[in-house]
Chains A and B, each alone.
Chain A
Amino acid sequence: MICREHPLRILRYSLKNIWLLIFPLLRGVSVFHFDPAGIYAWVKGAWMDIAVLGVILVYGYIRWYFSEITVTDEAVMHSEGFIVKIRRTIPFEKVSSASTETPFYLVPFRAVTVRCDTGAGLFKSADMKLMVTQRAGETLMAHIPDVKKEKAFKSLPKPSVVSVLLFSVFFSSGFSGAVYIAAFFFKGGDIAHDILSIAMSRITEQAEHIYVKLLSGIPKAAAMTGMFFMGAWLLSFIMNLLRYSHFQLSADTDCINVAFGLVKRRRHRIMTKHINYIDMRQNLIMKLCGAVTVNISCPGYGYDSHLPVLMPISREKNLGSINEYPSLPRDGRLKYRPRFTAFFTYAGLPAAGIVLTALLYGSAEALPLNLADLSLFLVIMAEIPLIWLTMVKTVALCTSGLSVYDDRIILRCSKGTSFHTVIARRENVVMAQIKQNIFQKLFKKCHVVIWLSGESRSKYKVKSLTESQGIEIRKLIQHNSIK
């Protein structure tokens, strides 16, 4: 099949330069009055702008005309450019993921955007991105392997509306962070306002007058800041809800199909053999509820304004039932785990922070002007994340670890406040690195850092294993690379 891109592409090609005319156009529109003589006068005055607009549109047309797509049984080729001609060729067997995007505004024009990605090329950008007619898009996608109905996994959990809703709540620009910051400004502003107004009333009898004039703005500003953070989160939540609505998932041994989106419908085809690793993410609430979000690392999936999510939120026990899927663990037990004596490595800093903050509060009681109230509030606000982090790191200590099997590696660790369960094929493990500081050297402990192949740097650290365990893991991984 040989075809051109969708004619709408002319506008896209022209739009890159059309902004140059925005100010002359606005000036022209502001002085334009409709009458035949006026049109003539306007054209006479703006002929240069009109000529430039014409050149830009002709340039867009010429670029579109020379942009040609060829689809054969082996590869898809896209040639563009009319002076310097560039022809990209992607063999279908090298495609790691392909997707179609149909935004609502392209539906009336029967246009669709097709993206093809391989393991090479620039990070976070598609190797080939084409806007074509729906028919051409279907012809192209027909060459990309699809899930075969007879081979499809029947027991894959179906992402429900509730799971998408919860996913949007948890992954909307830091839900807990937004709530925390909003609380800080609401309550902190309120307390600061009380303290300052009392202080002012003590200092002068005119305090009430000054308070009304000067200080009434403080809680308002604080409230506005708090509302801003909540508003930002709400916006992010709505965007996520629209982005991940109607989440559909199907898979067989070779391919995974994922579709989602209400306003912009995205349909992805992911080749299983190109998946670098699976990353199951949880926060503390999800961990306690036994819920999990399944993400994957595959070139071309999850870099265009959406997360590389395979399953929004699902119960961990439900994942265990999909044994047909080759890369998921069949047992959760890990061979190499840190001992409980590693508590200080995991949770030492936040635990020390809790004690230190409490001690600081003790010394703050001597402060004048009722500042003790403010210090109590500040201590509570400081203690909340510290206690949270201590809980997270304690749970991480109990769950972290690593297992190396013949065909895969499974590791559990925490990064910040999130928990990760990573499953990767042995051939996708790039390196095992042992890290020791002077104290760890003394107590024969180490951190094991596992580097995995991927478009971006992917490394996961399991803290505080014994030195002998670290050496054993490194040997196992090296043995595999020698094989």
Chain B
Amino acid sequence: MKKFKPDKNALLTMRVSVLVVSLLIMAAVRLYIPVNIIVAIIGIAVLTAVIFADCVYLPLYFAALSYETDGKSISKRSGVVYRSHKSVKLSTVQYTAAVTTPFSKRTGLNFLVLFVYGGQLRLLFLRYDDFNELIRLANGSGKELP
């Protein structure tokens, strides 16, 4: 049984992304809304959301997220409020979709979607090496695909 944890860099990337998006929202609000009190209210709301996301939700989400495989099946544990445990047999995987982003070796934004009968299993924020290993595993026979 091999365990995979999400890339720690992905947590940092997500925190920075949330911060950047919130700054953009605030800039737009400052630019287009002339009433200071409304700007202040929106600013407080956005700041609260950013603090909650960056300091509470994202760390808990990443702490709860884990994957494990025994070579025959892949399991995913996730969830902050509601914990879920999903498992699929590798033999039932019909096809895969691997999603990568620029500098994903550094940012940890590597995603793998396993399509099975009646649904899909999304493996999120994988380390680049884990990502490649899981692709090989999911596509069968352990052979490296280009």
Contacts and interface: CB of A to CB of B under 8 A. Distances in A.
Interface in B93-146: 93-102, 115-120, 135, 139-141, 143, 145-146
Nearest to B96: A89
Given A72-B145, A75-B145, A89-B139, A121 B115 contact: yes
Given A72-B146, A120-B120, A87 B97 contact: yes
Interface string A63-80: 000000010101101000
A72 B139 CA distance: 13
Interface residues of B, number: 23
Nearest to B141: A74
Contacts of B101: 83-85
Given A75-B145, A84-B99, A85-B99, A118 B139 contact: no
Contacts, number: 69
B61 to A, nearest CB: 21
Nearest to A94: B94
A89 B95 CA distance: 6
A158 interface: no
A120 B115 contact: yes
A356 interface: no
Interface string B59-82: 000000000000000000000000
B100 A85 contact: yes
B100 A127 contact: no
A94 B95 contact: yes
A119 B117 CA distance: 6
Contacts of B100: 84-85, 87
Contacts of A75: 139, 145
Nearest to A128: B95
A3 B79 CA distance: 41
Contacts of A93: 140
A93 B100 CA distance: 25
A74 B99 contact: no
Interface in A8-38: none
A118 B97 contact: no
Contacts of A72: 145-146
B146 A120 contact: no
Contact of B95 (A74, A84, A118): A118
Contacts of A191: none
Contacts of B95: 88-91, 94, 118, 120-121, 127-128
A2 to B, nearest CB: 8
A89 B135 CA distance: 9
| Of listed B94, B141, B143, B145, residue having the most chain A CB within 10 A | B94
A179 interface: no
| Of listed A90, A91, A127, residue having the most chain B CB within 10 A | A91
A136 to B, nearest CB: 16
Given A83-B101, A83-B102, A120 B145 contact: no
Nearest to B119: A120
| Of listed A87, A93, A118, residue having the most chain B CB within 10 A | A87
A453 B143 CA distance: 31
B115 A70 contact: no
A91 B140 CA distance: 8
B145 to A, nearest CB: 6
Contacts of B99: 84-87
Interface in A41-86: 70, 72, 74-75, 77, 83-86
Given A86-B98, A121-B94, A70 B117 contact: no
Contacts of A90: 94-95
A478 B100 CA distance: 44
A87 to B, nearest CB: 5
Given A85-B101, A86-B97, A89-B98, A70 B141 contact: no
A86 B97 CA distance: 6
A88 B146 contact: no
B145 A77 contact: yes
B3 to A, nearest CB: 24
A90 B115 CA distance: 10
A374 to B, nearest CB: 53
A89 B94 contact: no
Interface string A114-136: 00001111000001100000000
Given A70-B146, A74-B145, A89-B139, A118 B115 contact: yes
| Of listed B93, B98, B101, B116, residue having the most chain A CB within 10 A | B98
8 contacts: A77-B146, A84-B99, A84-B101, A85-B99, A88-B96, A120-B115, A121-B94, A453-B117
Given A74-B145, A118-B94, A127-B95, 17 more contacts: A72-B145, A74-B140, A83-B101, A84-B100, A84-B101, A87-B98, A88-B95, A89-B95, A89-B96, A89-B135, A90-B95, A118-B95, A119-B117, A120-B93, A120-B120, A121-B95, A128-B95
Q: Which 7 A-B pairs have the closest CB atoms?
A: A120-B94, A118-B94, A120-B115, A90-B95, A87-B98, A94-B94, A85-B100
